[in-house]
Amino acid sequence: MFDALSDKLHDAFRKLRGQAVISEANIAEAMKDIRLALLDADVNYDVAKDFVESIKVESLGQTVLKSVTPGQQIIKIVNDKLTELMGVSESKFNLSGSPSVIMLVGLHGSGKTTTAAKLALHFKKKSKKVLLVAGDIYRPAAIDQLEILGKEIGIEVFADRFQPRVDIIAKEAKSKAKTEGFDIVIIDTAGRFQIDDEMVQELVIVSQTVLPNDIIFVSDAALGQEAVAVSQSFHKAIGLSGIILTKLDGDARGGAALSIRKVTGCPIKMVGVGEKIEDLEIFYPDRMASRILGMGDVVSLVEKASKEIDIEESEKLQKKLKSNQFDLSDFLGQLRQMKKLGGAQKILGMLPGGKAISDANVDFKQFAKIEALICSMTTKERENPEIIDSSRKKRIAKGSANTVEQVNGLLNQFSMMKKVMKRPGILGNAMSGMGGGMPQMPKMGGFGGSQRGTNFTKPKEKRKKKK
């Protein structure tokens, strides 16, 4: 979501490279570029203006350290100010009381019902007993959707299709939760295409009836400044305690995430980063600021790895590597472990400087091709690639919808990787971090030539010959 903003900020920082000191003259143009980058990202005008002014004041008030350049120091200041703008630290849910009640509100189409299920799963993983409440009585499909999602994640859904009042449904659900020992009640309320008095009044009555610990505004990040304006209206009407931004994996420009807390005073608690039910993450302002500035988010990557990576499998892999018994089945397992972390592109995006690699015409679809090639092999062929002769290569190529040249490329690259892993010191580097992780591979060549290995770069377009 922040790719365009990141690129423009880096262009602004480049103008300060080579400068000996920070002065009003040499940062004026950079500040102008930063302001334009923020406005282009759909950041609120007043927020962008105040943000740039605060950077300028702090920059001119600091002495440039000998160990860093002016450009590096400005990046540090921008990082601190971005973190401050988005909320400094994680904003936790208020889980006092038994049960704790979380009420979700928002406009139609913001992903509220799906977010309710995602949030329920988040708390379930923390060993909380959660009850989902179908409070959208105006859209029968919303009740069906919540029940399907609840069944998928193993969480009970409270619904009453014949009760016309949401406040009574919410009250009965809270009573049930208290009687049956539920820790958290999550109420999915009805959305609207626009705010109207009737809708607001209904939400006010529900709030007064169940006295929720948190009233969370769920907003589509793609709405930009409209999301900020709507959240302000909701906040004035019922008093929000936080915000969940959805669809941060889409093509939104990022303005809502950067403006919403400053304008409304309400913190962003969580963000939706994908369509899968587990794609809901805690919002860490400092980590998001690092991502925007291209410094990665290694902490989040390690946390995700610790949850997703199978430690036993990683230990088995280490033993196989030490005894040089690593085969294509193991390699396939590592590719699938990487998919659990979001895939190669997402992993690169969370590493310092990884975005630059990701942008360098890397074709991530090739990973799927490699997986298809290995899946087309028999167990014996994966364990002993050297037995793969010409006829076997043709069968593997046909079964994976690839070419014989691509089969050759994978086999040659895997052979090269095994040779590299034999070198002293390589194993320690390859297995460091993330409980085993993905073995480091040698530099990639071309996917398709038997002498060039496996290519993860997009093929260059052929130039048309001039007549």
Strand runs labelled E in 61-194: 100-105, 130-135, 156-158, 184-189
Extents of the domains making up the chain: 3-86, 100-284, 306-436
What amino acid occupies position 428? G
Tokens for 417, please give them: 């990787």
Give the model's pLDDT for residue 97.
Answer: 83
Give the model's pLDDT for residue 13.
Answer: 77
Residue 395 and residue 177: Cα distance in Å, rounded? 58
Architecture of the domain defined by 100-284: 3-Layer(aba) Sandwich (3.40)
Cβ-proximal residues to 417 (8 Å cutoff; 6+ apart), any chain? 439, 441, 442
Cβ-proximal residues to 23 (8 Å cutoff; 6+ apart), any chain? 60
CATH 2.30.40.10 fits 306-436, yes or no: no
Residue that the structure tokens 């304008």 belong to: 263
Give the model's pLDDT for residue 308.
Answer: 57
Give the model's pLDDT for residue 448.
Answer: 39
Give the model's pLDDT for residue 94.
Answer: 93
Q: What is the pLDDT of residues 86-123, one digit of tens each?
A: 887 888 999 988 899 999 998 887 889 999 999 999 99
Q: Return the CATH class of domain 3-86.
A: mainly alpha
Residue 175: Cβ-neighbour burial (10 angstroms; 0-12, 13-18, 19+): exposed
Q: Which of 214, 213, 182, 211 is nearest to 99 (CA)?
A: 182
Give the model's pLDDT for residue 304.
Answer: 58
Instruction: List per-block mean pLDDT (blocks of 10 residues) for the chain, which spans 467 residues.
Output: 74 71 75 85 85 83 56 79 84 90 89 93 94 89 93 94 92 95 94 73 92 92 76 86 84 72 87 87 84 60 58 64 71 75 60 52 71 90 90 91 89 80 52 41 38 46 49
Residue 222 and residue 246: Cα distance in Å, rounded? 8
For the beta sheet containing 156-158, the strands, ordered from the edge strand earlier in sequence to the opposite edge, are 156-158, 130-135, 184-189, 100-105, 214-220, 242-246, 268-272, 280-282
